[in-house]
Amino acid sequence: MTALTSQYTTSFHQTRSRWTLLLWFLGLMGASGLLGLIMLRGGPHPVFIGALAGLVSIAAIVARPRYGIYQILFLTLVADGLLVPWFPFAKNLSSRESLLYLNDALIFSPLELYLALTALVWGAQHFARRRLSFRPGTLGLPMILFALFMVLGLGYGIGRGGDLNIGLWEVRPMFYLPLMYLLVLNLIKTRSQVSVLMWLITLALFIEGIIGNLHFFFTLEMDLSGVDTITEHSAAIHMNTLFVMVIAVWLFKGSRAKRLVLPLFIPFVLFTYLVTQRRAAFISLVIALILIAVVLYRENRRVFWAIVPAASLVGMLYLAAFWNTSGMLGLPVQGIRSVFADESSGEYRSNIYRIIENVNTAFTIHQHPLLGVGFGNRFSIIVPMPDISFFDWWEYITHNSVLWVWMKAGLAGFMATIFLIGAIIVNGAQAFNRVPGGDLKAMALTMLLYVIMHFTYAYVDMSWDTQSMVYLGTAAGLLAGLEGIAARPVQQRPHVKDGKETVYSNAKLV
């Protein structure tokens, strides 16, 4: 009886899978045919090309929801709003500069559609199998509290007369963080999938670097006069992770392919990184390198003493040689020097703006210490600030992104944010200590240092942007899931000796 029941159940699931696959195939074929007919009658248009690519990517997500993670992360990191303003993935369908502009009323983006679709397919597959394996993970509670207080901050801000449109623009990327965390934690389950993410991250940064090089040479004609940056501000922090990952895969003996290929990406990314001119990125990278030196001292003191003193001496000589040089090779030094900038420099004026802005932020917090002003409301300006009216929301969003949360979401929202930051770092440090060497260890160190670099940068610049929230959610999900991934047996190719076949795994001899 048991055998018959098992056979019936297996046959039922196989039949259902075949019918499901057939229905999806027919649906995609029908949609493709309809799209082809529209293109034939209406002529070529970028929207049709995007729609065709979208059909293929949707089919991939339906087949394997984790492909949604791959696409979301890659397309978000490569979609720099300044370098490629026409790239549609992170742009609303109401953005006129986007290739996929459709209508002013469509105030959502392909990114949000992909997030929703990935979550929906993942949930539907579990429902169809009548098996729910949702894991909130160790960061589940901090993520829930963070999201809850952001919702309350938005509701409170609109309730006291704030602008709904601006409030949504302020807060909506912040919801990508917990959603990406949950998707990555639950969908990325094996070492090979972590390896795919590593390749996608570095490939996206490499492509962004290539585009930056082309922009500098052909659009700007190698002239940075009057150019503050060529990429979005947070892009330089993302590029830092490539430099960290290259060091990490060599330090912890990652796969041979990564050790050989990833260093080849650095020259292209480094050039764009330098002309991006983000001093916060230079300083946060220095902090990351110091932390890597601490890790190296703990892991291998012989290598530490062979590399770090010499590297430190070279670094000091570089600082001394380029301290008063304004050329491209001196840009990182100028970024550090700008902290002590004189009154005649643009960096000094930028420093003064931030100081004045912090005064106004602190005053607003003191006026509304418990509940804040809510999203969608202006902060108080008691000290007039230099004119940056080219930035539409200069009266709503401040450079200090940590205190900005307190100002907008109140004390409880601020504490929830600090709790989340601390929990991610602690969880990441534990994961780094517990996972074995190789790609997993390298990924743990890279993601942990990215979190630290991101929130170092957040104290001096606007950090709650779309790219950063998707990347930060990915980092948090990986750090929370790496121990479980490391614990899974890794099947290797059979080893034949004396006519006997033996299969080894990382957990036991099979």
Per-10-residue mean pLDDT, the chain, length 510: 51 58 57 55 58 77 92 93 87 86 85 94 80 83 97 95 92 96 95 95 94 84 71 90 96 94 93 82 91 91 88 82 67 62 56 87 95 94 82 87 95 97 96 93 96 93 92 97 88 54 42
CA distances from 467 to 72, 292, 340 (A): 10, 25, 30
Tell me the backbone φ, ψ of residue 500, rounded to 5 degrees.
-110, 135
The token pair that represents 279 in the structure block: 């001093």
Q: What pLDDT score was predicted for residue 128?
A: 74
| Separation of alpha carbons 402 and 206, rounded Å | 30
SS3 state at 104? coil
Tell me the backbone φ, ψ of residue 497, rounded to 5 degrees.
-145, 125
SS3 state at 427? helix
The DSSP call for residue 495 is: E
> What ranges in 188-234 are assigned the alpha helix state H?
191-214
DSSP per-residue letters across 7-63:
HHHHHHHHHHHHHHHHHHHHHHHHHHHHHHHHHHHH---HHHHHHHHHHHHHHHHHH
Nearest by Cα to 475 from 281, 253, 188? 188
Question: Count of residues for the chain?
Answer: 510
Cβ within 8 Å of residue 491, ≥6 positions away: 503, 505
pTM score, whole prediction: 0.86
Paired strand residues for 502:
495
SS3 state at 71? helix
Helix axes 110-129, 164-187, angle to 10 degrees: 40
Q: Which sign does the torsion angle of CA 361, 362, 366, 370 carry? A: positive
| Separation of alpha carbons 420 and 237, rounded Å | 20
What b-and-e string marks burial along 153-166, b requiring 16 or more CB atoms within 10 Å of the CB? bbebbbeeebbeeb
| Separation of alpha carbons 299 and 337, rounded Å | 33
Q: Which sign does the torsion angle of CA 96, 102, 103, 106 carry? A: negative
SS3 state at 497? strand
- Is the Cβ–Cβ distance between 454 and 238 less than 8 Å? no
| Separation of alpha carbons 229 and 215, rounded Å | 12
| Separation of alpha carbons 215 and 220, rounded Å | 6
Nearest by Cα to 442 from 179, 256, 283? 256
| Separation of alpha carbons 187 and 429, rounded Å | 22
Q: What pLDDT score was predicted for residue 460?
A: 85
- Is the Cβ–Cβ distance between 185 and 484 less than 8 Å? no
Paired strand residues for 500:
497
CB atoms under 10 Å from CB of 194, counted, come to 21
The token pair that represents 482 in the structure block: 């790496």
Q: What pLDDT score was predicted for residue 510?
A: 27
Q: What pLDDT score was predicted for residue 318?
A: 78
What b-and-e string marks burial along 283-322, b requiring 16 or more CB atoms within 10 Å of the CB? bbbbebbebbbebbeeeeeeebeeebeeeeeeeeeeeeeb
| Separation of alpha carbons 464 and 441, rounded Å | 27
- Is the Cβ–Cβ distance between 91 and 98 less than 8 Å? yes
The token pair that represents 275 in the structure block: 């002309």
